[in-house]
Amino acid sequence: MVIPADFPYGREFALGRPDISWRHPGMDRQRRAKLFAPFDALSGFDEAIASKTVPYTDRTELSEAEQEHINQVLDRLHRLTPNSRIARLNSVRTRALCFVPCRDRNSSAFGRQGLVKQIEGICRCVDPVHKRMTIGDRVLPFSCLIGLEADFP
């Protein structure tokens, strides 16, 4: 490459690239990776897409026999858990199948469909006045129950 004689930076060009590493030490890999890490430009988009893949189902109506079985188990659990002390002494292991309605307003299943979840634990309380029961730390309304089993002592 030929440099013209009147080139204003000819002297600097002849010196070559400056060595500035002493002035700006190299960045370690971890800090450099943070600079080029991807960011979520559409926050919440991944969750919205994932919510579309949830397999919601219709609520099944219970037969008379199934409803009677749930009522019998609830009545027996109520007699075994009149207060927290006796509930701890009896420690009745309980499995409940619950229908949990879809709460995602952006889903086509909102208000029509839901998920069936199994809750397991020690029954702590059955409250027939407020129509709810407590298994472990979960409070379940009677209306969500679609199945109920208990290991009675």
Contacts of 53 (CB under 8 A, 6+ apart): none
- Quick one: pLDDT at residue 69? 95
Could you give the number of structural domains in the chain?
1
pTM: 0.64
Structure tokens at 40: 């979520």
8 lies in some domain: no
Q: How far apart are the first and last CA of the chain?
A: 96
22 lies in some domain: no
46 lies in some domain: no
- Quick one: pLDDT at residue 25? 73
Q: What residues make up the domain containing 121?
A: 57-151
| Phi, psi dihedral angles at 66 (to 5 degrees) | -65, -40
Q: Give the Cα separation of 123 and 74 in Å (integer).
A: 10
Q: Long-range CB contacts (< 8 A, 24+ apart) of 47-56?
A: 48/106, 51/104, 51/106, 51/107, 52/107, 54/102, 54/104, 54/107, 54/109, 54/115, 55/115, 56/102, 56/107, 56/109, 56/113, 56/114, 56/115
- Quick one: pLDDT at residue 96? 96
- Quick one: pLDDT at residue 87? 82
Q: CA-CA-CA-CA torsion for 103, 106, 111, 113, nearest 10 degrees?
A: -80
Pairing of strands 132-135, 57-58: unpaired
Tens digit of each residue's pLDDT, the chain (153 residues): 677 888 888 888 888 776 666 666 777 888 878 777 777 677 778 887 887 888 899 988 999 999 999 999 999 999 998 888 888 888 899 999 999 999 888 788 888 899 999 999 999 999 999 999 999 999 999 999 999 999 987
5 lies in some domain: no
51 lies in some domain: no
91 lies in some domain: yes
41 lies in some domain: no
134 lies in some domain: yes
**Strand ranges for the chain from DSSP E:** 57-58, 93-101, 113-127, 132-135, 138-141, 145-151
